Amino acid sequence: MIELPVGDLKGVLTGIGKVICGRNTLPVLGSVKFASETNGCLSISGTDLETQVTARLGPAQNSEPLLIPLEPLSRLVKSLPASERLTIRKADKAHALLGYQIAGTRVEQSVESPALDEWPSSPPFTEAAVPVDDTFKQALRQALECSSDDSTRHVLNGVCLDISQADCQCLVATDGRHLYSANTFRLDLKTSVIIPDRKFLNWSHFHDDGNWSLSVQIDKEGIPSWIRIQSDHWTFLAKAIEGEFPKWRQLVPEAGPKATRVILTEESVNLMLDVLPRLPGMNDTCRSISLVLKSSGMAVRGRDRAVEDWTEVPVHGVTVHGPDNEVGINRTYLTKALRFGFTEFIVHDALSPVLFTAPGRTLLAMPVRLNGAPVTPINTPPPPEAAESTSPSVVQPDNPTEQRNAMASTTTPPTPERGNIKAINGETQSAISAVVDHVEAIKTRLRDVIGDLGKTIDLLKAAEKEKKATLKEVETVRATLRSLQKVDL
């Protein structure tokens, strides 16, 4: 029998509930597993086949592994005081008993208990764990906010830990409209990996649970297969996202002499955070606002599309270096940058991404068009090289639907023209090179399709398990009917 304080279970079940879905075709996927670990601790786990979280509760009590449905367990734990002690014991092969006090009387509630052989096995980890600091934890949390939820771009549904440059390892995430990167890490890993976006990774209790260590398990072909993150009391396991992350470094512009650099103070940041949600145009699809940059300072403008006049708010405490400029930007990304602590940004022109910078971090936001056309910087003619230096994948389209994969398509080159074509970095390349790049892009898309097929196979396996469980139940009913027929005779 397992005996636990209810107070210990309340927070733990909240964390496991971020992995287990409310409705599952398989009873085992809606259950938690109590088991004794090799280190002598009692653990409780939950899984959805692709993700598993495990919490260590305390010393093991020499109990056999046991599966308990999460929904009735959570409902009971919420109704009990934290000082109550809950007992869990096996009743028979298919049921367990949850014991607790009611008005001084001990009672037991019967719940179904799925068979242990249906619980998916955990992958073996042979790679050493690498410690990560609070900077990594904070950067991962911010990067997760910038990842995509577009199922057609599965490779963007997470955060890429890019170690391709040993002296500049980065956490990167993008949704095709804005991109976040942090590069203050030196991790002893063998390969880059894409960490999937999971609700549990954004859970504050997991972030505050002591120091973390990271492990990346690779398969026989050297491709990352599983990721494990351990804290003081929790273990997070997830399948790595298959596929190649876009070549994001090509998108980050460098500050040049013609760029406008803006430095914000704490006063100006607080003012903008207060003003941005209340400026007109908040209900527009792009939530666009205009940043007017002059040597005398900065102003924020917004308007509804049906109105011609702008509502302008001057922002005090801002230092502007460089030529006068104006750029349109989605206020959601601007607010996110300010909330992340970015106090400097660089504007090249109305068609180039806005680059927010901070020590060890950058956030790149695509511009939006105002008045249905590119915005001309105030008092500054557009530079002659602007049309050449801006890649078709960087220019913001009028329609936000066309905009959504602007950054995500960085691995796909422009359509070849006669002669030479322009590369993203401004260098020329031959038509043959463009074809080679196009083939590489096709390979990337095929990897995404293979990833989707793999997920489909997992679902089919789950359906097969469910079918076997149904057949077992049918066979049990038949055996019961046979026994009843014998009694009648």
Residue 84 lies in a domain: yes
The answer to whether 87 and 99 have CB atoms below 8 angstroms apart is yes
Which of the four pLDDT bands, split at 50, 70 and 90, describes residue 464? confident
Do 264 and 341 have their domain in common? yes
Do 340 and 318 have their domain in common? yes
For 262-313, how does the pLDDT look when each residue is reduced to its tens digit (9 = 90+)? 999 999 999 999 999 999 988 888 899 999 999 999 999 999 877 888 899 9
Domain boundary among 243, 260, 292: 243
Cα 294-297-300 angle, rounded to 5 deg: 90
Domain boundary among 118, 152, 183: 118
Residue 282 lies in a domain: yes
Which of the four pLDDT bands, split at 50, 70 and 90, describes residue 155? very high
Do 218 and 344 have their domain in common? no
pTM over 0.85: no
For 106-124, how does the pLDDT look when each residue is reduced to its tens digit (9 = 90+)? 899 999 998 888 898 888 8
Which of the four pLDDT bands, split at 50, 70 and 90, describes residue 487? low
Amino acid found at 307:
V
Amino acid 396: pLDDT: 40
Residue 451 lies in a domain: no
Whether the pLDDT of residue 347 is over 60: the answer is yes
Task: Give the phi and the psi of residue 51 in degrees, each rounded to 5.
Answer: -140, 140
Whether the pLDDT of residue 55 is over 70: the answer is yes
Q: For position 189, which CATH number holds? A: 3.10.150.10
For 468-481, how does the pLDDT look when each residue is reduced to its tens digit (9 = 90+)? 777 777 777 777 77
Per the structure, the count of domains in the chain is 3
Instruction: Please tell me the distance from the alpha carbon of residue 365 to that of residue 286, in angstroms, as a whole number.
Output: 12
Domain boundary among 96, 118, 140: 118
Do 192 and 78 have their domain in common? no
Do 221 and 362 have their domain in common? no
Residue 402 lies in a domain: yes
Do 232 and 266 have their domain in common? no
Do 72 and 143 have their domain in common? no
Which domain, by its residues, includes 109? 2-118
Handedness of CA 44, 48, 49, 52 (dihedral sign): negative
Handedness of CA 215, 219, 222, 224 (dihedral sign): negative
Residue 11 lies in a domain: yes
Whether the pLDDT of residue 445 is over 90: the answer is no
Amino acid 435: pLDDT: 58
Do 395 and 265 have their domain in common? yes
Instruction: Please tell me the distance from the alpha carbon of residue 306 to that of residue 114, in angstroms, as a whole number.
Output: 59
Whether the pLDDT of residue 364 is over 70: the answer is yes
Do 359 and 299 have their domain in common? yes
Whether the pLDDT of residue 427 is over 70: the answer is no
Residue 482 lies in a domain: no
Do 152 and 207 have their domain in common? yes
The answer to whether 54 and 44 have CB atoms below 8 angstroms apart is yes
Which of the four pLDDT bands, split at 50, 70 and 90, describes residue 453? confident
